[in-house]
Amino acid sequence: EAEPEVVCICLMAGFAYGDTPDTGPAVIVTTDNRPDLADQYARELANLLQTGYQQLPPPQAISPEAAVAAALAIPGAPIILVDSADNIGGGTPGDGTDGLRAMLSHDVADGCIVLADPEAVAACQERGVGATLTLTVGAKADSWHGQPVPVTGVVQALSDGEFDCELADNHFAAFYGRRIAMGPCAWLRVGGVNILLTTRKTPPFDLGQLRHIGIEPETQKMIVIKSAVAYRAAYLPIAAGVIEMDTAGLCTADLSRFPYQHWRPNIKV
């Protein structure tokens, strides 16, 4: 603003999930017919971006096993375990299993996770409420979100997957209206872990998603959430704590998980 010939400066962080020679931060400087000034400021700011990037700390997420152990040690409930690598709003399948495996390995009582798994839903629907099933759940869309988990559980409830949003101004309501349709769903309880199986992947933007089938989020010790930010409006008001997990998934913040082949040498993971 102190430079009258500079009209506008745009800073762009870049799209880290793109494997191209042009991936990386960029600066655009627009001037009033002063290309020399635009070049000067663009280069100065680009150097600042590069220096600042090298000073950034690594992502502050912990392994799912460590996250579950930490959640068990925190008084109160529910503890929100954030699985942002399987962020449905970012385009992932919503069937990542790292959080489920960790809860099962710790014999968690009253853990909860939502998995998009139409195959498992169909199996539960076929057998009916009260049936005991042995099947695999999750990680069926691709190989980026863990491996399918073999489980034996009891079908607690079935539904058509439709619910009304409790929050009138959440992301669901903004995009789709207050009535949400997840397709046929099943609540499968495996040990102490409650798994809501959905036909359509559905992000965790509203507590009605769990309540519609009989799972009360406030009574869960921990809930795995497949989102990065937009879950907060619904879940932070009831949360006794939040832990970020380092899980497998296409929206991971740990870029070293990706086999980049086309980045320029000066762009660091």
For 85-118, write each residue's pLDDT tens digit: 999 999 999 999 999 999 999 999 999 999 999 9
Reported as a pLDDT band with limits 50, 70 and 90, residue 58 is: confident
pLDDT at 31: 96
Distance CA 215, CA 185 (A): 13
Q: H or E element: which one contains 101?
A: helix 98-105
Nearest to 222 by CA among 112, 135, 148: 112
How many CA atoms are closer than 13 Å to the CA of 79, on its beta-carbon side?
22
Reported as a pLDDT band with limits 50, 70 and 90, residue 161 is: very high
The answer to whether the pTM exceeds 0.95 is no
**Tokens 């700390």 found at:** 57
pLDDT at 78: 99
pLDDT at 41: 94
pLDDT at 13: 85
Mean pLDDT of the chain: 94
